Structure 1
Amino acid sequence: MAARSELHRIIRLFRPYRSRLALVAALVGLSSLVGVASPFMVRAVIDDALPHGRTGLLTLLALGMVAVAVLTSVFGVWQTYLSTTVGQHVMHDLRTAVYARLQSMPLAFFTTTRTGEVQSRIANDIGGMQSTVTSTATSLIANVTSVLAAVIAMFALDWRLTLVSLTMLPFFVWISRRVGSERRRITGERQRQMAGMAAIVEESLSVSGILLGRTMGRSPALVDNFARESRELVDLEIRSGMAGRWRQSTITIVMAAMPAVVYWAAGLTSAAGTPLVSIGTLVAFTTLQAGLLRPAVMLLSTGVEVQSSLALFTRIFEYLDLRPDIVEPAKPAVLPPTGVTGAVRFERVGFAYDADRNVLDDIDISVPAGTSLAIVGETGSGKTTLGYLVARLYDVTSGRVTIDGIDVRNLSFADLAATVGVVSQETYLLHASVADNLRFAKPDATDAELHAAARAAQIHDHIADLPDGYDTLVGERGYRFSGGEKQRLAVARAILRNPPIMVLDEATSALDTRTEREVQAAIDALAAGRTTITIAHRLSTIRDADQIVVLDRGRVVERGTHPELLARNGFYAELLARDEVLAVS
């Protein structure tokens, strides 16, 4: 039942192109009908034109056979073009659908899924089904039509020989189904192995992976691990290629023997003095029989390939069946025409990644428009999670987060992205030019706007000094730039987008004092005139915040300004003292 359901889903993939497939079917049908004419012309040549010396008829029959070859070739080229076009469009639809579904998945999905696994689904699985998608539909239509046309023509020539030729077909179908089931199982194992290898390549051959492997002296071990995985893949590939070969060779032997049986039967009846069929009919019949056997074998092989490819489709459908936890509202709230002021409110917010433990519990915080909030606490206290709730990278488990009184879950994704900007502690840069990385925030930004944003982020002079200026490639994950430079590029990108609310997951704790001051100056420029929520790792950077909230195990334990919290000599004062000791040391 599962396989039948998947077949129905595969068929639905072709529905948008049914008119083209109908044209392919018409071309295949014409090609098959034209091809069937050749054996009848052969019979006429042997039984009529040659014995009676009818040269005119012989010439017409010869020209007819040439015309059949020309027409079938023309029809074949056109049907190949159309079927390939349809197949490639279906592949495009699949790739796009999977990519779009993954883009809609929440951040939590990617924190628990290996990047190599995701890439393998798109590259290996969809790529592996290319031959099935591009040729299977045409192959099925062509071979079914050829088989039907050949059987009808064979019955027209001699029904007794036709029944003898068809007696083994049920046995062939049974063998093909067994082989297909075996290959489907092996294909699933092979694709999982390829996904594992893709993950190893993605992790170990990135810049970070190479640095880690070499500095830890693990490069030889990584090579051995990859070789071990590759050997397992070799075994699966061999098993896949050899699955059912002996059984299928039996089909080939039997089918090759069937014309010999026909000749033998015809010869016995001729020796008895009562010829079963004429010589021309016998030659025409065996020609048709060969025309039947070839598409019949291909049809059975196609069935095996379809069953094997079901494992690939199953893996793709698993991703297409994923349901995002965070969905866009059916009727998004309309933002006021005057624009967002940027007031943020956490109303009794609770959040849990799973049912066992709350990360945040009963958070109640108000951030007036244009003010700054700093969130501090021990590692694991929920600081980053709380900030990400504003941008709806996660959805609250209880309570709500509002912007200007509107629940963020009621805003469209586009409005929310335009309203809330995030500068995370891990700056991600594309392997593209500096300008392209900045324009990722605003594709239509002018060069003057790029320069202004870079100046505000204290990075313009450095970019201008590069050999290619703003056209300089940043390298994979921005490894051409230092940590502080990457952070300032991220700030420039956020300034260019210019949202009224900024969530700053500050990444200055790993920077030296001078670089920290430069990045902090860029952050201060970004924060000017907008609501800012700073997730503080180094407390010296948030002394001027309008309010500071201290989290401990997901709860607010203190709140106030820097002087107020110091005067209480509580949790915040203890964190600050520890931070200052670390800074000195």
Structure 2
Amino acid sequence: MPATTTLPPPDAPSRAGDQRGRGGRGGPGGGFGPAKIDPEDRAQLAESPVKIARILKLFRPYRGQLIMVTLIIVGTSVIGLASPFLLREIIDVALPQQDVRLLVILVAMMLAVTVVTSLFGVLQTWIATKVGQQVMHTLRTRVFSHLQSQSMSFFTGARTGEVTSRLTNDIGGMQNVVTTTATSIASNLTTVVATAIAMIALSWQLSLFTLLVLPPAIILTRRVALLRREMTLQQQRRMADLTSQIDEGLSVSGALLTKTMGATKASSRRFAETSTELVDLALRSELAGRWRMATMSIIFAAIPALIYLVAGLPITGGTISIGTLIAFASLQGSIFRPMMGLLNVAAQWIASMALFSRIFGYLDTTTDVPEPTHPLPIDPAAIRGEVEIVGVDYRYPGAETGALDGIELRVSAGGSLALVGATGSGKSTLASLVARLRDPSTGSVTVDGYDLRELSAETIAAVVGVVTQETYLLHGTVRDNLLIAAPEATDEQLWQALEVAQIDDLIGGLPAGLDTVVGARGQRFSGGEQQRLAIARVVLRDPRVLVLDEATSALDNATERRLQTALDALSRGRTTITIAHRLSTIEHADQIAVLDHGRVIELGADADLRARAGAYAQLAGDPVNVS
């Protein structure tokens, strides 16, 4: 049995990414809002712990830049502390003594401190952002490439929104880890330590008083901010609901659904209810914000006032100068913000580790269709196209019963095989094995004797062409969609492929021709037109083996007959495996395999199978059950 795909729960929300998006007010260095530890972050880490060594490995190529950022942070904090001491000298010495020369020097030094710290801040942001973006780029491309190598079982079990969230929100949060979380922790810690030392150097008596006043002020601020944070989170959840309702109600498919279901009024009513909740939450959030600002104003006004009061008490003995008092008040005010940031370290750390856990979870997802370590070097042009299916069983992950059981089939080079059977008989599953969209649980699928598991994905794509019942077109031009198959194709080759697919007249009659935009998921064209464009793509690939999974099912009878004639011409000299939509389209196949519950119960030519009066003859008499 191949390795089972280990996929995170498909319905698990990507909370790390959400937290990155909503943490602006309470993030490190971004205000006084407390960062709460998300229970789901804790659960994520409990389920999938992250090794620190693995994270450090990501940043190892940038250790020089990270050391530079650290030195800049320390240097900025230390240089910035010169301002209060310069201010003290101005007030205590230069102004009382009317020393203009000293005053100019001190003022110039204060300006120089501001300029240097500002320049250091810009340099720090540039380096940290560059490192974060580079690590984010590396992870993003690794995850995207890794997910592309997954089998179809992965994509049928995972939600597209979940995959998108991992690639955008979670990996996007990588930059936040470097530029915000890590740098803010380092900056806050350095600032608190340096400021505390400077405060003690200025006045140990006032420093003792600060130890009594500052903790209650921080606690009160956190409690007030917690209320506003909760309001903000509720507001963002409701806004997410509103956005979802807009996407569902105003997209092409959503609008079609609401109109045909008569749900337009219900949809409008639900939208109005959500919008009303947003109004209420906005008012409550703004009110909480006003209380928060009022509380902060009182705290910041009270602490300096209390410091001035203590400075005048007999216990200080009048030993504190005016300059020292003002410089100390300045330092005391600047220590508040970094201390609040340090109190959020635990939540920031848990959230960051949960983010890494989710990203690594995708990188660690194993595929049941692995790329061969040493693929066989085969020239696709040299392939004749003999397909052999030997002892193949297949069971979907988590299924109790197998979808295929003991399949033995051989299609000679240039020959044709048709697969028929009732819905769920295993036709599409078997066809997907030939294109190696899945690997058999047991047995093998070979082309010219080469096991598909020994060929690279690029080689298989060049040898086996697939047209499925479900057509997917990119939101681009007709030219863009065709060039996916053959990037170097000329316009002449594109028109030839369209002609084979019986759609050249339609495209040629459009004002923009090949440059016509197909729209989201091909909405510009009908289902049959989309399918013919998909067939044109396969024509451009010029494969030796064709897999037609009900390729003509979306066409009307007249168009199907024209296209079937073109496909018959295209199939000459190529091995063709067709899943029949109508038995009339596969009457001339070399072999017809009748499947039932994953087994081949009949095999032979059309005339022979009809003469047996068995399962095939019953399907011929009841075409509704063919596919």
Q: Name the structure 2 match of 1:137.
A: 182
Shift of 1:497: 0.8
Q: Which residue of 2 aligns with 1:118?
A: 163
Kept in 1: contact 2:425–2:595 (CA 8 A) = yes
Distance, in Å, in 2 between the alignment partners of 1:134 and 1:263 is: 38
Matched, 1:296 2:296: no
1:488 is aligned to 532
2:484 to 435, 440, 443: 440
What's 1:455 paired with? 499
Q: CA deviation at 1:416?
A: 1.6
Task: Say if 1:571 and 1:86 are closer, same or farther in 2 by CA, change over 3 A.
Answer: same
Q: Secondary structure at the match of 1:400?
A: strand
Alignment of 1:321-340 (within 5 A): 321-335=364-378, 339-340=382-383
**In the alignment, what sits opposite 1:59?**
104
| Structure 1: tracts of 5 or more residues without a match | none
Q: Equivalents in 1 of 2:574, 2:379: separation in Å?
A: 17
2:523 corresponds in structure 1 to 479
In 2, the alpha carbon distance for the partners of 1:180 and 1:324 equals: 46
Number of positions where the alignment pairs a residue of Structure 1 with one of Structure 2: 580
| 1:420-475 Cα distance to aligned partner (Å, 9 max, x none) | 11100111111111111110111111112212222222222221111111111112
Task: Output the CA distance in 2 between the equivalents of 1:449 and 1:436.
Answer: 14
- Residue 175 of structure 1: how far off its partner (Å): 9.2
The letter for the 2-side match of 1:352 is: R
The within-5 A match list for 1:237-386 is: 257-269=302-314, 274-300=317-343, 315-335=358-378, 339-353=382-396, 354-386=398-430
The separation in 2 between residues aligned to 1:146 and 1:412, in whole angstroms, is 55
Q: Which residue number in structure 1 is paired with residue 546 of structure 2? A: 502
| Matches of 2:98 and 2:534, distance apart in 1 | 90
Q: Does 1:391 align with 2:435?
A: yes
Q: CA deviation at 1:384?
A: 0.5
Aligned to 1:576: 620
Greater Cα offset, 279-288 or 438-447: 279-288
Deviations 1:76-104 (A, max 9, x none): 22223333333334444444344334323
Against the structure 1 CA distance between its residues 491 and 221, is the aligned structure 2 distance closer, same or farther, given a 3 Å change threshold? same
User: Residue 331 of structure 1 aligns to a residue in which SS?
Assistant: coil
1:134-160, Cα deviation, whole Å (9 max, x unpaired): 433332333222222212222322334
- For 1:222 and 1:500, the matched residues in 2 are separated by 51
CA distance in 2, matches of 1:364, 1:474: 41
**Aligned position for 1:218:** 263
Instruction: Tell me, yes or no, if the aligned pair for 1:180 and 1:303 is still in contact at 8 Å.
Output: no
CA distance in 1, matches of 2:111, 2:365: 55
For 1:415, the equivalent position in structure 2 comes to 459
TM-score (norm 2): 0.80
Distance 1:118 1:378, change over 3 A: same
Distance in 1, Cα, partners of 2:237 & 2:55: 21
Q: What is the identity percentage for the equivalent residue pairs of Structure 1 and Structure 2?
A: 53
User: Of 591, 600, 607, which residue of structure 2 is paired with 1:563?
Assistant: 607
CA 1:83 to 1:520, structure 2 compared with 1: closer, same or farther past 3 Å?
A: same
Which residue of the partner structure matches residue 548 of structure 1? 592
Deviations 1:32-75 (A, max 9, x none): 22211111112222222233333322221122112222222222
Residue 382 of structure 2 aligns with an amino acid whose one-letter code is G
Hey, what's the Cα distance between the residues in 2 that align with 1:182 and 1:369? 72
The answer on 1:404 being equivalent to 2:448 is: yes
Match of 1:538 among 576, 582, 595: 582
SS at match of 2:622: helix
**In structure 2, do the counterparts of structure 1 residues 392 and 242 end up closer, same or farther at CA, with 3 Å as the change threshold?**
farther
Q: Which amino acid aligns with 1:29?
A: V
RMSD, aligned CA:
4.0
More displaced 10-residue stretch of structure 1: 260-269 or 490-499: 260-269
The 3 A distance-change label for structure 1 pair 579 and 338 is closer
Larger mean CA deviation between 379-388 and 76-85 belongs to 76-85
Contact in 2 for aligned 1:342/1:403 (Cα 8 Å): yes
TM-score (norm 1): 0.86
1:220-253 CA-partner distances (Å, limit 9, x unpaired): 3444556667788999999999999999998996
Q: Is the deviation greater in 204-213 or in 300-309?
A: 300-309
The CA deviation string for residues 507-563 of structure 1, in whole angstroms up to 9 with x for no partner, is 334432101112212322332221111011211001111111000111111001111
Aligned partners of 1:91 and 1:133 also within 8 Å = no
Aligned to 1:151: 196
Equivalent residue, structure 2, for 1:469: 513
Select between 495-504 and 260-269 the one with higher mean Cα deviation.
Answer: 260-269
Q: 1:547 to 1:100 in 2, by over 3 A?
A: same
- Residue of structure 1 in register with 2:128 after alignment: 83
